[in-house]
Amino acid sequence: MVVRMAVTGPPGIGKSTLVEKAAAASGHRVGGMLAKDKRFKDRRIGFELVDLASGATGMLADESGSGPKLGKYRVHLDELDKIGAKAVEDAINYDLIVVDEIGPMELSSRRFVLAVEKAMASPKPMIVVLHEWSSHPLAKKIRGTFQVIVVTRENRDSLVEEIVKVLKGQR
């Protein structure tokens, strides 16, 4: 059976770091995307997108622009589609699909949602970071079909090794 894991938990607990470390240690050819904090002088000013296969980067959201507003940030739909959704679409050509994050910002893009659905229809193993409280239909589908792992301060360090063991069993 194909491995499908969704990592969830409160903001700042280390979900993205956990997934990034596990993917790197898995020995798989990894495709997909990460969303990383963009900081200036210890202050988060937005979120950057990274295509894991190509290294392409762009802005997911910051305090400027005209895209959908979530909190104080505005989503850059053009870059989300061009880099984030494309990275997920292209990830089907790799051994492991990583999607960080399936949350309100990313789910504002129809192309992103379709890319994740297409990845889910593939036979490839997946690790996703899932927003803790999202009620979007895609988030509900992931909760119902993926193994959901809740990250805490107590378990986050040991989870990397546990996830890698499961992924190495997929080779």
103-112 pLDDT, tens digit per residue, is 999 999 999 9
49-100 pLDDT, tens digit per residue, is 999 999 999 999 999 988 999 999 999 999 999 999 999 999 999 999 999 9
Tell me which residue of 135, 139, 138, 53 sits closest to 89, measured CA to CA: 53
More confident site: 4 or 168 = 4
Phi, psi of 30 (to 5 degrees): -110, 135
* CATH code: domain of residue 63: 3.40.50.300
Where residue 118 falls among pLDDT bands split at 50, 70, 90? very high
Question: Beta partners for 7?
Answer: 129, 149
Domain that holds residue 42: 4-168
CA triple 54-3-77, angle to 5 deg? 40
132-165 pLDDT, tens digit per residue, is 999 999 999 999 999 999 999 999 889 999 999 9
Q: What radius of gyration, in Å, describes the C-alpha atoms of the chain?
A: 15
Asked whether the whole model's pTM tops 0.85, one would answer yes
For residues 58 and 91, what is the distance between their CA atoms, to the nearest angstrom?
Answer: 17
Tell me which residue of 27, 1, 6, 25 sits closest to 95, measured CA to CA: 27
Residue 42: what pLDDT? 87
Residue 24: what pLDDT? 94
Q: What are the structure tokens assigned to 92, written together? A: 């089907």
Burial group, residue 4, by CB count within 10 angstroms (0-12, 13-18, 19+): middle
Domain count, the chain: 1
